[in-house]
Structure 1
Amino acid sequence: MNTYQFVLLSIFVFTLCFWCGYIVKQNEKGLIEQIRSTPNLTDTAVPTPGFNEDALQKISKDDPKWLQLYEREPKHRPNFTYLISEHSKCRDVMPFVVIFIASHPSEVQARLAIRASWASKKQWYGKSVLALFLIGNESREQTGKLYLEHEKYRDMIMQDFLDTHKNLTHKTRMAFQWLHDFCPKAQYIMKTDSDVFVNPGNLVNYLLNLKEESSQTLFTGYWLQGAPIRNKRLKYYVSSEEYPLDVFPPYCSGLGYVISGNLALRIYMMMCHVMPFTNEDAYVGVCLRLLGGQVHMPDDNLFFIQRIELEDKIQHLIAAHWVDPVAMKRHWETLQKT
C-alpha cells in the first residue's frame, strides 16, 4: 500500500466513524426525548396543589419543634424508578377512590384472596373503586414472577427499592407518588395492607355522606399517637438521626386510612421536604402536621386494629386487620349474602 492509498483509507475510516458516532448520538437524543415525553415520576405536566406557607408560619408560632423535620428545598423527592406503574388505569375511568394495598412479593395467596373477594367488584353506588398492590423489588427470580402476575391481573405498582421492613416508608411514598404522577384527579385514596378486609361499599357510602367542607380535607382511620421506639433490638426502632423529636404527631394506623385526593397530593408535595424515617404511618402523620391538617375521628367504630371475630361486624365496618386469605374469602361470601 502506497502513501496515496493509505491517506484515502484513513479518510474513509475517519468518515465512517464520524457518521456512526453521529447516528448513535441521534439515537440517544431520540431516546432521551422519548423518556422526557413519558408521564412518569416528577416530570408530570399535571398541576399539583401546593401547601400553604401560612400553615408553616402558624406552626413556627404555636409549636416550632415540628419545623426541625421540614427542609425548604425539596431534597427528599422520591427518585426510585417504576418497574411496574400500571399508569393506564386512570386514563378512561377516573376512580372515586383508589385503594393502595401494601403487599410483600411473597404474599401471592393474600393477593389472590383479595382479588377474589372485596377487590373483585369495581363499582359501588355508581362510583368506581380501583385497587392496586404496592410492591418493592426482591430477587431476580421473584421479580420475574411478579411481572408474570402483573401481566395477568394488571393491578400492581412496583419500584426498584428492596422490599424490606425498613423500606416500608418508601412503599407508602410510592402510593402518593403514583397518585401524583398518574391519577391526580381521583377524589379519595385509601392505604391498607394485604391482611386487611376492606368493605368498599361502606367506604364509598361513608365518603358520599361527608359534608362538603370535610370532603377536601379528610384524613381518617384508626387514630394513633405515640413516641418513637429507641430500643435497637426492637423491630420498629427509629434512630434519633432519622427522627430527632421525642413524640409523633397524631396519625392513623396503616391498617387503613382514607384521605381526600386533594390533600393526598399536598401530602406528596410535603414528602419531598421531609426526610423519610422508619415508621411509615407516623411519617405520613408528620407531613399532615406540617400542612396544618388533622386526623378526623370517624363517628362510628369503622376501623378494627385488634384481632376480633368479625362475622357480626362485617356489614358495618370499613376495614379490619389480621385477616388471613381463607377468612378473606369467607367474609366476602358472608357480605354477599346480606
Structure 2
Amino acid sequence: RMSVRCLKCSLWLLCLLTVTMLWYLNLPSYTVIENLNWMYFYEYEPINHSEFAFTLRERVTCSEQDPFLVILVTSRPADVKARQAIRVTWGAKQSWWGQEVLTYFLLGHQMEPEDNMLALSVQDESTLYGDIIRQDFIDTYYNLTLKTIMAFRWVTEFCPTAKYVMKADSDVFINTGNLVKYLLTYNQSENFFMGYPLIENFSNREIFKKTYISYQEYPFKVFPPYCSGLGYVLSRDLVLRVYEMMAHVKPIRFEDVYVGITLSILKVDIHLPKSNDLFFLYRIGFNTCKFKRLIAAHSYSPEELIQYWQFMQKESSC
C-alpha cells in the first residue's frame, strides 16, 4: 500500500514538473538590453493615471497654512494597529522645531468586505482622525505603485504648499524631530531627494521570488539609482515634477524603482548624507542613542514602535 502511494506521489510530481517545464519553455523570450536608457520607459503621449477616484481624501490644513513636512504612510486597510501605533508615537506631534508636520495614511480598498465586528472600519477611522487618503483600486502588494502615484497626485492637487514630502512604510520607526532638524539644517528646497540609497541594484528574474520582475516589464539588468520604499523625502518642486513625469511613464510593480526611473529621466541625483546612521534598510536592535540619531529604521511591529518611542521619551541623555 505504501509503495502504491509513493508511486502515485512520484507520478504526480513528474506531471507537475512536466507542466512547469512546458510552461517555462513556451514563455516568450525577451532580450536583455545592455545599454541603460531610462527614456525607454517614457511615452510621449500621456498615460492616464487619474482613472482612480478618491473615495477618502480628508480635511487638510494646507489651504490654511503651509506645512513644512507631510508624511504619507502606505498602509493596508486591515493594519489598524499599525496606524494607531503611529498616531500615538512619531505621528502624534504636529509641530517640531517650530515647523508643522502632518501625517496621513495611503490606502486602497480591500478585496473582501470589512468585518465591522472585528476592528474599526476605515470610514470610522477617517471620521475620528481625519488622516486617511484612499482611492478605489484594490489594495495589494503589487498595487503599491498605484498608491505612490496617488500620494504624488494628492500632494499636487490638495497640498502643493508643503515644503517637503516623505513617503514611508507603516512598519518604519521615524524620528520625526531628527528629520525636521536635518531638513532645516541642510536647507535645500529644490531638487532634493533623500532616503536609503540603492545604487546598481540588479533586477531579479527568479520567478517564484517576491522581488521577481519579468524582462517584458523591465528589460535592463540594473535598476536606476533609487531610494528604498521604507522612507524617502522629496522637496516640493520635485514632487510636482515627478507627478507630471509619471503621466508619461508606465508603472512597474516596484514603486521605489518606479520613482527612481522618473527621477533618472529628470536627471535628479540622490542626496547622500555624510552620516550612514540615518536610514536603515533592515531591522536593527533597539539602542536609545542610536534611535535618537537616526531618521528612519525598517521592520518593526506596532507594539515595538510604541515601546521604543516610550523608551526614547524617558531617556533624556545617551
Shorter chain as denominator, the TM-score bin is: 0.7 to 0.9
Q: What count of residue pairs does the alignment treat as equivalent?
A: 274
Q: Specify the alignment match of 1:50 in structure 2.
A: none
Worse-superposed segment, 230-239 or 112-121: 230-239
Alpha-carbon offset, residue 185 of structure 1:
1.1
Alpha-carbon offset, residue 109 of structure 1:
0.5
Q: Does 1:221 align with 2:191?
A: no
CA 139–89 in structure 1, closer or farther in 2 if over 3 Å, else same: farther
1:77-226 to structure 2, matched below 5 A, reads 77-139=49-111, 141-142=113-114, 145-211=121-187, 214-225=188-199, 226=201
Q: Specify the alignment match of 2:291 in structure 1.
A: 314
Amino acid of the structure 2 residue aligned with 1:106: A
Q: Specify the alignment match of 1:259 in structure 2.
A: 234
CA distance in 2, matches of 1:250, 1:310: 29
CA distance in 2, matches of 1:267, 1:143: 37
CA distance in 2, matches of 1:77, 1:87: 23
Structure 2 unaligned blocks of 5 or more: 1-34
Alpha-carbon offset, residue 64 of structure 1:
6.8
CA 326–263 in structure 1, closer or farther in 2 if over 3 Å, else same: same
Partner of 1:176, secondary structure, is: helix
Q: Does 1:331 align with 2:308?
A: yes
CA 143–220 in structure 1, closer or farther in 2 if over 3 Å, else same: farther
Amino acid of the structure 2 residue aligned with 1:216: E
The 8 Å contact of residues 87 and 182 in structure 1, kept in 2 or not, is answered as no
CA distance in 1, matches of 2:111, 2:252: 24
Q: Specify the alignment match of 2:251 in structure 1.
A: 276
The 8 Å contact of residues 227 and 247 in structure 1, kept in 2 or not, is answered as yes
Structure 1 unaligned blocks of 5 or more: 1-62
CA distance in 1, matches of 2:231, 2:54: 24
Worse-superposed segment, 69-78 or 280-289: 69-78
CA distance in 1, matches of 2:309, 2:146: 31
Q: Specify the alignment match of 1:65 in structure 2.
A: 37
Q: Specify the alignment match of 1:247 in structure 2.
A: 222
1:5-20 to structure 2, matched below 5 A, reads none
- RMSD, aligned CA: 1.6
Q: Specify the alignment match of 2:31 in structure 1.
A: none
Alpha-carbon offset, residue 332 of structure 1:
1.4
Amino acid of the structure 1 residue aligned with 2:166: M
TM-score, length of structure 2 as denominator length: 0.82
CA distance in 1, matches of 2:156, 2:44: 20
CA distance in 2, matches of 1:249, 1:76: 24
CA distance in 1, matches of 2:52, 2:176: 30
Partner of 2:101, secondary structure, is: strand
Which has more helix, going by share of residues?
A: 1
Q: Specify the alignment match of 2:212 in structure 1.
A: 237
The 8 Å contact of residues 303 and 319 in structure 1, kept in 2 or not, is answered as yes
CA distance in 1, matches of 2:48, 2:290: 41
TM-score, length of structure 1 as denominator length: 0.78
The 8 Å contact of residues 305 and 321 in structure 1, kept in 2 or not, is answered as yes
User: Which of 1 and 2 has greater Rg?
Assistant: 1
Alpha-carbon offset, residue 97 of structure 1:
0.5
CA distance in 2, matches of 1:66, 1:234: 25
CA 192–143 in structure 1, closer or farther in 2 if over 3 Å, else same: farther
The 8 Å contact of residues 191 and 257 in structure 1, kept in 2 or not, is answered as yes
CA distance in 2, matches of 1:320, 1:297: 17
Alpha-carbon offset, residue 143 of structure 1:
9.0
The 8 Å contact of residues 237 and 278 in structure 1, kept in 2 or not, is answered as no
